[in-house]
Amino acid sequence: MLYYFLQWLEKTYNLGLPPVYQYLSFRAGVALIISLIISILYGERIIRLLKNLQVGETVRDLGLAGQKEKEGTPTMGGLLIILAILFPCLLMAKIANIYIIVMIVATLWMGAIGFLDDYIKVFKKDKKGLSGKFKIIGQVGLGLMVGLTMLHHDGITVRMELATAEKAGYEVIGEPWTQEGSAGSDAMIKMAKVKTTLTNVPFLKHDKFGSNSFDYAQLLPFLGDNARNMVWLIFIPIIIIIVTAVSNSANLTDGIDGLATGLSGIIGATLGVLAYLSGNAITASYLNILYLPDTGELLIFAACFVGACIGFLWYNSFPAKVFMGDTGSLMLGGVIAAFAILIRKELLIPILCGVFLAETLSVMIQVSYFKHTKKKYGEGRRIFLMSPLHHHYQKKGMHEAKIVTQFWIIGILLAALTIITLKIR
């Protein structure tokens, strides 16, 4: 909103304002600072409010060190994260940008689902919280919204050569234009914005479209020429699965002080870099990735997201004064998934969110092995001392602060690997 207000002032009164407010880097930096200030200044007040409302965490006795001390710690702190994301984003971003709109909706949508879950646990005294099927319905709803928006909104496009788009049969949005060819060439080429379900694939070098990309329509070869019109049959379910999986993975990871918050901040910063690179014609061409017009604005949202996570760590690091609850964890996972999908980097999620993946796999392996051995031997056996994975290390006697720090380091390494994939082909 501030961007539009300053633009209006300049056009109306010709004040000669410095153009710095138009730069993505400047607005992202300011958004990050505002997000941090909101988190730190209002964190104490929100914690005090939650204590007055007796919104305390009920901790099950799992035999873990320091577990009893967490009893009664205020939860639903995810409300602080949501506030610290949305306010600076609305202030500094171009809120008419469709990518920003989708991310704001995703934040509110998943935050509301998590809030309902926490509300039922805390105020209705139902330890099970919101029924699992309703959580899934909410996650499916977000995936459906993101998928349909990508398929049908004219503001979500890929820029490519017109000849390539026509050969592939993509729908061209708006009028094509002519621009200079590569450096050192006098040739002029026709460019266009197109609707497509192309996505970037890590480690691939070139395909018939001239980039490391894959079209989901290729998964429907049996439909022939009609595959592109029916691509929603495969595209929408894949998007829903990604949103559901990442959201639940973040929820599972939120088990010890600061773990999910810090990892989410690392992931958010990486996604911000990827959004900036994808939304810049020069860097996208150099890195041979899809050029996605207007996605650079997502750098502002990423800055707000990272600022909110870092600010929340002020109170959530060990020993935590507040927990984010499902209000925060479900929202963080859903937002990360939606962001990655919008910038067409969803296939990098297994690398970037590797710690989330490991936590989820540890639960799946533990449960599956327990059921198998119980059926085979009459008694269930375990591979891990406890799942998710961070509890396994707690059972081994590691202090949770050390576990969190080491998991953060792994998260940073995975983030670096994610960026490196842009050049490893």
What is the pLDDT tens value at each position of the chain, 425 positions in all?
A: 787 888 888 788 887 777 888 899 999 999 999 999 999 999 999 999 999 988 877 776 666 766 777 888 999 999 999 999 999 999 999 999 999 999 999 999 999 999 999 999 988 888 888 998 999 999 999 999 999 999 999 999 999 999 989 888 899 999 999 987 665 556 788 999 999 999 999 888 765 444 578 999 999 999 888 988 899 999 999 999 999 999 999 999 998 999 999 999 999 999 999 999 999 999 998 998 999 999 999 999 999 999 999 999 999 999 999 999 999 999 999 999 999 999 999 999 999 999 999 999 999 999 999 999 999 999 999 999 999 999 999 999 999 999 999 999 999 999 999 999 998 87
Q: Per the domain annotation, does 364 fall within a domain? A: yes
- Report which of 122, 411, 41 is spatially closest to residue 250, judged by C-alpha positions: 411
Residues of the domain holding 411 = 2-155+234-420
Q: Per the domain annotation, does 90 fall within a domain? A: yes
Q: Per the domain annotation, does 192 fall within a domain? A: no
- Work out how many domains the chain is built from and give that number: 1
Q: Per the domain annotation, does 181 fall within a domain? A: no
Phi and psi at residue 193, to the nearest 5°: -95, 130
Q: Report d(CA 56, CA 71) in Å as an integer.
A: 7
Q: Per the domain annotation, does 160 fall within a domain? A: no
355 and 414 Cβ atoms separated by less than 8 Å: yes
Task: Tell me what pLDDT residue 111 has.
Answer: 97
CA angle 341, 388, 141 (to 5 degrees): 35
Phi and psi at residue 413, to the nearest 5°: -60, -40
Name the E strands within 261-378: none
Q: Report d(CA 223, CA 408) in Å as an integer.
A: 45
335 and 103 Cβ atoms separated by less than 8 Å: yes
Task: Tell me what pLDDT residue 209 has.
Answer: 46
Q: Per the domain annotation, does 172 fall within a domain? A: no
Q: Per the domain annotation, does 162 fall within a domain? A: no
Give this prediction's pTM: 0.95
Residue 321 DSSP label: S
Q: Per the domain annotation, does 54 fall within a domain? A: yes
Q: Report d(CA 60, CA 39) in Å as an integer.
A: 29
Task: Tell me what pLDDT residue 210 has.
Answer: 47
- Output the six-digit token pair for 69: 């001390």
Phi and psi at residue 396, to the nearest 5°: -80, -5
Q: Report d(CA 190, CA 193) in Å as an integer.
A: 11
- Output the six-digit token pair for 139: 């996650």
Indicate the residue type of 403.
I
- Output the six-digit token pair for 386: 């406890």
Indicate the residue type of 271.
L
221 C-beta neighbours (distance < 10 Å), count: 8
